[in-house]
């Protein structure tokens, strides 16, 4: 091959595979050594962070007559965790859980511009026999 007027001969060399270095083997073993997530029964201590508070408004009071209860939940929680937290905290089994995100909103109070923080709320549907009492 000629590159800028220089000619080089192609040499037939058999390329041997290199043995993995210490760094390569160390990173591979680290990935395998990571313990899998615990799969099993969860306790109420594991799910205390999921439910932030019940969401009590006029609209939710009307919905509670139809066995739909609304909760403010942690942003990182999912439907399965919310369902388990309701089971542990209120001793009722939800039929279904829907999640809605609360968007952040710009606000203007006392001459200062600010932002309302974002969040997440969960609509928990119960059987007709079950009920939740907020004190």
CB 45 within 8 A of CB 66: no
> What are the tens digits of pLDDT across the range 44-96?
568 889 999 999 999 999 999 999 999 999 999 999 999 999 999 999 999 99
- Classify residue 126 by burial, with Cβ atoms within 10 Å: 0-12, 13-18, 19+: buried
Classified by CATH at the fold level, domain 51-125 comes out as Alpha-Beta Plaits (3.30.70)
pLDDT at 17 over 80: no
Residue with tokens 């710009």: 106
- Alpha-carbon distance of 85 to 130, in angstroms, equals 16
Distances (CA, A) of 92 to 33, 110, 119, 133: 39, 44, 25, 11
Compute φ and ψ for 118, nearest 5 degrees: -85, 170
Q: Which residue has the higher pLDDT, 58 or 10?
A: 58
- Give the range among 13-27, 42-56, 62-76, 108-122 with minimum mean pLDDT: 13-27
pTM, entire model: 0.63
pLDDT at 24 over 80: no
């Amino acid at each position: 091959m000629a590159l800028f007027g220089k000619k080089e001969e192609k040499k037939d060399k058999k390329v041997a595979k290199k043995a993995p270095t210490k760094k390569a083997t160390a990173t591979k073993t680290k990935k395998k050594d990571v313990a899998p997530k615990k799969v099993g029964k969860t306790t109420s201590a594991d799910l205390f962070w999921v439910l932030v508070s019940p969401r009590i408004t006029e609209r939710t009071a009307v919905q509670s007559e139809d066995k739909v209860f609304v909760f403010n939940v942690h942003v990182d929680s999912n439907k399965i965790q919310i369902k388990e937290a309701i089971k542990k905290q209120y001793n009722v089994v939800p039929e279904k859980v829907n999640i809605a995100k609360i968007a952040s909103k710009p606000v203007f109070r006392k001459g200062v511009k600010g932002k309302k923080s974002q969040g997440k709320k969960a609509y928990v549907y119960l059987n007709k026999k079950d009920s939740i009492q907020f004190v």
